[in-house]
């Protein structure tokens, strides 16, 4: 192609440089990924929904079974994508927990959806199948899935997000922080995820009745740590790799926290939502919002966190609208609010304190 004038050259060359950078980044990601093998090629699963089932390697000799759903094939188009993250079972459960029962609703809206099973759990989705449910190995499993999605030719690489439910937020935060900014996603939607060991293990005073199998309310957290995770509440080396509020400070994408007025585990308690938002504000997250509340705000109570009425599991249409909103936003760095966060109100700002433990 012959460039007719200098103005044309100035217009085209930056675009070419951008394309070359994108191609180089995609090639680098593909080089990082172990080979994938398709077991069920792309075919129509439901009207307007196509699914491929494949296994991707983890780099540690294991494989992750992944289902990738997309709109009808169109070689001329690239689509935004979300990766769903839950702590066990097939991660489509993340969307179901948020009230989206039919994945096709997202696909027919022009969004590709990746769901997966953790290695070795394809036929045993029980939470008891693995003790270390939240450690670095599983966090890297999530990272490997995100990296795979970013290499797919039908995916719009600048428009990939993560959607986590409940304690899937620990795995999502770890995946996005190992290392920070790699894999590079545009947004993360976190629905009612626990921020600390005490929230995770129902160790917040008065939020859960002492009923079987818990021996008593006072020792509930220690019992849960031992039976559920094979750990203790006091092992700081263990928890520094498994508490979301620590990990999420290194995340570098937009962060939307969704919280129902009635938490799916803790009923009336929402201190973990305040803590999640303030932890994001204190870290590298460039854009922070709770529900439809204000952007990049420090929170000290429930008035500004944009809580959804009732239970989040009954709010599927609103959750779907939030995901579509995040997808529709421009790339990182192009919103006026990106990176513009006010300083912490005071050095000892109480709203940033971690939810307490039982006394």
* Whole-number percent of the chain with pLDDT over 70: 81
pLDDT at residue 178, rounded to an integer: 85
Helix (H) or strand (E) holding 187: strand 187-191
pLDDT tens-digit readout, 76-92: 999 999 999 999 889 99
**Mean pLDDT over each residue of the chain, to the nearest integer:** 86
pLDDT of 233 over the 50 cut: yes
Whether residue 213 is preceded by a cis peptide bond, meaning omega within 30 degrees of 0, is: yes
pLDDT at residue 55, rounded to an integer: 96
Any residues with CB less than 8 A from the CB of 140 and at least 6 apart, and which?
58, 59, 174, 175, 178
Least confident of 7-16, 94-103, 148-157, 317-326: 7-16
pLDDT tens-digit readout, 29-50: 555 566 789 999 999 999 999 9
pLDDT tens-digit readout, 305-349: 999 999 999 999 999 999 999 999 999 999 999 999 999 888 767
Tokens of 181: 């900014």
pLDDT of 357 over the 60 cut: no
pLDDT at residue 317, rounded to an integer: 97
Residue 281: pLDDT band by 50, 70, 90 thresholds?
very high
DSSP annotation of 306: -
Cα distance between residue 168 and residue 266, in whole Å? 16
Cα distance between residue 17 and residue 182, in whole Å? 21
Section 152-170 average pLDDT: 97
Q: How far is CA 259 from CA 162, 163, 304, in A?
A: 16, 13, 12
Fold of 42-352: Rossmann fold (3.40.50)
Tokens of 298: 């420090």
pLDDT at residue 127, rounded to an integer: 64
Coil, strand or helix at 251: coil
In degrees, rounded to 5, the angle at the alpha carbon of residue 64 between the alpha carbons of residues 58 and 67 is: 135
What is the value of pTM for the model shown?
Answer: 0.87
SS (H, E, C) 110-139: CCEEEEEECCCCCCCCCHHHCCCCCCHHHH
Least confident of 15-19, 72-76, 94-98, 271-275: 15-19
* Whole-number percent of the chain with pLDDT over 90: 64
Choose between 204 and 359: higher pLDDT.
204
pLDDT at residue 14, rounded to an integer: 44
DSSP annotation of 346: S
Helix (H) or strand (E) holding 23: helix 6-32
**Which region, left, alpha or beta, applies to residue 192 given φ > 0 means left and ψ of -120 to 50 means alpha?**
left
pLDDT tens-digit readout, 113-139: 999 999 987 776 666 667 888 999 999
Cα distance between residue 32 and residue 20, in whole Å? 19
* Domain definitions of the chain by residue range: 42-352
Cα distance between residue 209 and residue 150, in whole Å? 43
pLDDT of 111 over the 90 cut: yes
pLDDT at residue 18, rounded to an integer: 41
pLDDT of 16 over the 50 cut: no
């Amino acid at each position: 192609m012959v460039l007719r004038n200098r103005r044309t050259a100035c217009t085209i060359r930056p675009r070419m440089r951008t394309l070359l950078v994108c191609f180089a980044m995609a090639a680098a990601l593909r080089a990082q990924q172990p080979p994938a093998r398709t077991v069920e090629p792309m075919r129509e699963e439901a009207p307007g929904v196509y699914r491929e089932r494949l296994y991707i390697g983890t780099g540690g000799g294991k494989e992750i079974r992944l289902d990738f759903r997309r709109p009808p094939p169109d070689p001329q188009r690239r689509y935004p994508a979300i990766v769903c993250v839950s702590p066990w079972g097939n991660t489509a459960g993340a969307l179901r927990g948020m009230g989206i029962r039919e994945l096709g609703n997202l696909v027919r809206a022009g969004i590709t959806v990746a769901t997966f099973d953790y290695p070795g759990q394809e036929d045993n989705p029980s939470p008891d199948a693995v003790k270390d449910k939240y450690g670095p190995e599983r966090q890297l499993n999530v990272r490997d899935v995100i990296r795979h999605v970013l290499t797919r030719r039908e995916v719009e690489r600048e428009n990939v997000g993560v959607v986590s439910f409940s304690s899937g937020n620990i795995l999502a935060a770890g995946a996005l922080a190992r290392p920070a900014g790699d894999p590079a996603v545009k947004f993360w939607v976190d629905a009612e995820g626990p921020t600390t060991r005490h929230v995770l293990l129902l160790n917040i005073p008065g939020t859960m009745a002492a009923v079987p199998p818990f021996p008593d309310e006072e020792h509930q957290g220690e019992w849960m740590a031992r039976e559920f995770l094979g750990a203790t509440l006091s092992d700081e080396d263990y928890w520094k790799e498994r508490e979301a509020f620590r990990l999420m400070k290194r995340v570098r994408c937009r962060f939307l926290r969704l919280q129902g007025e009635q938490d799916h585990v803790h009923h009336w308690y929402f201190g973990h939502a305040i803590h999640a938002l303030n932890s994001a504000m204190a870290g590298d997250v460039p854009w922070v919002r709770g529900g439809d509340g204000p952007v990049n705000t420090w929170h000290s109570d429930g008035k500004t966190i944009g809580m959804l009425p009732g239970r989040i599991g009954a709010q599927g249409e609103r959750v779907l609208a939030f995901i579509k909103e995040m997808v529709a936003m421009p790339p990182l760095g192009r919103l006026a609010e990106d990176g513009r966060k006010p300083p912490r109100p005071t050095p000892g700002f109480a709203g940033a304190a971690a939810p307490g433990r039982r006394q």
